[in-house]
Amino acid sequence: MGKEKLIPIFAILVLLIGSLSTIYTYAVQLESDFIEINGEDYTIEDLFSLGKEKSFEDFSGVSLEDIIVNIGIENPKNHEYNIIGSDGYQKTVKWENIENGFLTRDKQTIFSDLPKAFRVKDIVKIEVK
């Protein structure tokens, strides 16, 4: 086959792969009104009633430290916390980071001591390790 026939076939193949990966990404996203923390489900209102408000830059929310302490995690300083978003994006943080972090009303984590890459959006789960 000549180049004239191969180039359109490759272009169609690339477009097909891109379309399928986009469909897959949207299909695996979880929708939930709850955030699971250490095996228990909490609404955003439940979590906001557990702590005091903090702010950083243009963001504000409830202290992650207050949330973890008030839901009864034993020895919270001895754990790491894996924060998972609805799209599967996840970051693991230490207690020192939790002390400087908060959860916004739109279920996003903000950490004043970590880069923006640690801002997990649309959180569905926080695992205590």
| CB neighbour class for 23 (10 Å; exposed up to 12, middle 13-18, buried from 19) | exposed
- How high is the pLDDT of residue 28? 52
- Could you tell me the pLDDT band of residue 26, with boundaries at 50, 70 and 90? low
DSSP class of 114: S
Q: 39 and 1, same structural domain?
A: no
Instruction: Determine the average pLDDT of the residues in 119-126.
Output: 94
Report field, pTM of the whole predicted structure over 0.85 = no
Number of domains in the chain: 2
CATH number at residue 85: 3.90.420.10
Distance of CA 119 to the CA centre of its chain: 7
61 and 104 part of one domain: yes
The CA dihedral of 99, 87, 61, 77, to the nearest 10 degrees, is -20
Residues 16 and 79 in one domain: no
pLDDT at position 25 over 80? no
Domain that holds residue 40: 34-128
